A = this chain, B = another copy of it.
Amino acid sequence: MLIIAEKINIMSKTIGPAMRERNAKPVQELALAEVAGGARALDLNLGPGTKDGPAMMEWLVKTVEEVVEDSIQLCLDTKNIEAMEAGLKVVTKHKPMINSTNADIEVLDKYMPVAAMYDADIIALAMTSAGIPRDCNERLENAAMIMAKAMEHGVGLERIYLDPLVLPIGVAQQDAMEVVETIRQFQMLNDPPMKSVVGLSNIYNGTPKELHSRMGFTFLAMLAAAGLTAAIADSLDAKLMAVVKTVEVLKNEMLYAASYLDDILVRV
C-alpha cells in the first residue's frame, strides 16, 4: 500500500505560513516526519490560490528533494498547470506524480501529454465536471475515458492511479460501499490490474475529530480488501499506519513476524 502523505498543504495553519514565507526548515522537517511515519510519497498541495503557483511549486519541490531519500515519490497537487509543469521541470531523482486530472476530455488532453513528457505517474479522478458520480457504473465509464486518453497520449496504464472519489460519510453514507465495489471493479479494467487511490480523509470530513482516525483506518482496511493500492492519508497517524502494516501482512504483501509493527519508525 502506497501511502501518500497529505500534510504539506498551503491550507494548513501550521505549515501554510512556512510555505508562503519560503521557510524551508519546517517544510523539510514535516517531509522527513511524514517519511518516518511510513509514507512513500509526499503530496505537495498548493491549494486553490494560483498567482504564486509556479514559483512556489518550484521552491517546494527543490526544498523537499534536498532532504528526502530518492525512493520517495513527489506528488504535485495543484489545479494550476503552469505550477504543475514548473514543479515537474525541477524534479531530479524523485519519481513525480501528478495530482490530478479528472475525466473531462479537455482536461485529459491537457494533463496526459504533461504526464508523458515528464514520465510522471498520474492520479485520475473518475469524475467529470458534469458532477459527482452517482454510483460504481458512472465511475467505471469515467475510468474508461481516462484509460483511452492515457493510451492516446502515450502514458502507460501502469502509471495511472484511478481515484473513485470518496464522499463524506455524513453527506452520502450509501456511497461508501459503492467506492469499495468501484475499487474492485477498477482492477478488472486491465491486466495487470489498474492501480487505485483514494483521498482517505474525505470519508471523515465533517465528522468530529475523535472519529477521524478510526473511521479512516477502518475504511482503509475495507478498501484494501477490495484491492486498493494507494491512499492519500496522514502518515503521522500511528494508529492508521499500524493498520496499514497489518493490512499488508494480512494480504501477504509483507512477511508476518511477531515484530512486524516495530520498524514503522526506522524506514528512513
Interface residues of chain A, those whose CB is within 8 Å of chain B, are: 169-170, 173-174, 176-177, 180, 203, 207-208, 211, 214-215, 217-219, 221-226, 242-243, 246-247, 249-252, 255-256, 258, 261
Contacts and interface: CB of A to CB of B under 8 A. Distances in A.
Shortest 8 CB-CB distances between A and B: which pairs?
A222-B225, A221-B221, A218-B246, A225-B225, A176-B250, A174-B252, A218-B221, A173-B256
Contacts of A208: 258
Given A173-B249, A180-B225, A211-B261, A243 B218 contact: yes
Contacts of A218: 217, 221, 243, 246-247, 250
Complex copy number for this chain: 2
B169 A215 contact: no
Contact of A176 (B170, B243, B251, B258): B251
A217 B180 CA distance: 18
A176 B249 CA distance: 9
Contacts of A203: 250
Contacts of A169: 249-250, 256
A170 B247 contact: no
